[in-house]
Amino acid sequence: LRARGFLQLRGVNGSLGMLEQARARGLYQRLSLCTLGQEPLPGPEVGAPSDGQVPCNAIPELLCVTKPGGLVCLTTRTNLSNLQNKEALEATPGRLEQAGAWDCLPPSWRWYPASLPRMASSSALSTCTESRRRPRLRK
């Protein structure tokens, strides 16, 4: 982000543990504890990765930076504005598995699926894969 001109980074999270991890990285000018929906946000602008921000054609690159046996976890939402991205995202792991690039693992749930149709509510929406690639040596 700094290379692209983002010089003032502020982090907001509802978990003290995540804030400590962020603090240890030394990238943020300010970190705030905030639970969304329970208190006002600490700043006027807050952003988070959402619908379509990671294009499907970027997924193979994730394999290049994942060590053999490492995990890549993908989730998406089923809201109407994201249906095209959702369909593409759901097809990508299968194509990469057929190519021998990774193994799709069976979905597992830590929480119950959301009951609203706009939420990530099917096992196809939460995909975890394991890299099969051999280590790539970098010069």
pLDDT at 29 over 80: yes
**What is the pLDDT at residue 122?**
44
135 pLDDT tier (thresholds 50, 70, 90): very low
**Tens digit of each residue's pLDDT (9 = 90 or more) over 56-115:** 777 776 676 677 877 777 777 777 777 888 888 888 888 888 888 888 877 665 554 554
- Give 3-state DSSP helix, strand, coil % of the chain, rounded to 5: 30, 15, 50
Q: Strand 126-131 and strand 102-105: pairing?
A: antiparallel
Q: Give per-residue pLDDT as tens, 78-87.
A: 777 778 888 8
